[in-house]
Amino acid sequence: MVGVTGKLLTTLRALVRELTAHTDYHALIRYRVVSVAPDKRLRLQIVRKATGFPDVLPISIMPGLPGGKGEPPPGAIVLVSFIEGDPSLPIVTHFSRPDDPAFLPVNASLDATGTLRLGASATLTELGSGSESPPDATGRVIRYGDSVSVPGVGVVIFGVGAAPVSKVKA
C-alpha cells in the first residue's frame, strides 16, 4: 500500500510539475551584477544555481520609475523577471535593498522632458551631502542666479553669461 501510494504521489507530482511548467518564468530571480556592458546592459550571474536559470545573462534594465535610471555597482544583487513569462524577454526590474552595501548605484539620473519637481510638499528638500538622520543640510547646491566668488577670477553668477551651469531653482 505504501509503495502504491508512493508511486501515485510520484506520478501526481510529475503531472502537476508538467502542468505548471509554463509558470517557471513567472518568478523573480536573484542575480549578482558582474559588470556593465558599454551599452549599459548588465552582465549577471545567478545567485542560487538551484533555481535552474542560466548563469549569465547580458540584459537590460527596465526601471520602475519613469525617467529614472542608474548603474548598479559590481556585486549588487538585482532581481530579474521575464515579461509575460517569456524566456526570451528577461529584464532587470529591482535593485539592492537600502541596507545592502551595494545599494548606491555608481551613477544615477532622473530626468523629465518637462518639469522635474522634487519635494513639492516636503518640509525639507535636501540636495548634496545632507544626511537624513539627524536632518542636516550642510551640503551646498548652486542655484540658478547664485553668485560665487572665485579667487583670482572674481564673482561668477551661475545660470547666466559664461556660467550657464545651474538649472536649480529654489
Partner 1 sequence: MAITLNGERCKTLRLMAPKTGPWLADVELEGVPEVPSGAVELVAGASTLVGTVAPEASSRYLTRVKVRVIAGAAGWRKVLDRRAYHNDVSTGVSLKSVLDSTAAACGETLTGSYPTGQLGADFARVVGPASRTIGRIAPAWWVGYDGLTRMVARDASAPTAPIELKDFDPHSRVADLEIAELEDIAIGMVISDSRLAASATIEAFEAVWDKTFRVAAWLV
Q: Is there binding between residue 58 and partner 1 (CB under 8 A)?
A: yes
Pick between residue 59 and residue 102 the one whose CB is nearest to partner 1: 59
Question: Could you identify the residue written with the cell 548634496?
Answer: 128
Q: Is there binding between residue 89 and partner 1 (CB under 8 A)?
A: yes
Q: How far is the CB of 61 from partner 1 (least distance, A)?
A: 13
The DSSP output letter for 103 is -
Q: Is there binding between residue 86 and partner 1 (CB under 8 A)?
A: yes
Is the separation of the CB atoms in 62 and 45 below 8 Å? no
Is the separation of the CB atoms in 64 and 110 below 8 Å? no
Q: How far is the CB of 132 from partner 1 (least distance, A)?
A: 38
Pick between residue 44 and residue 158 the one whose CB is nearest to partner 1: 44
Amino acid, single-letter form, for residue 42: L
Burial of 126 (0-12, 13-18, 19+ CB in 10 A): middle
Hey, what's the cell of 14?
510529475
Q: Is there binding between residue 21 and partner 1 (CB under 8 A)?
A: yes
Q: What are phi and psi of 85, to 5 degrees?
A: 70, 20
Interface residue with partner 1 among 13, 55, 68, 139 (CB under 8 A) is 55
Pick between residue 55 and residue 136 the one whose CB is nearest to partner 1: 55
Q: Is there binding between residue 74 and partner 1 (CB under 8 A)?
A: no
Hey, what's the cell of 32?
549578482
Pick between residue 86 and residue 111 the one whose CB is nearest to partner 1: 86
Residues from 23 through 52 that contact partner 1 (CB under 8 A): 24-25, 51-52
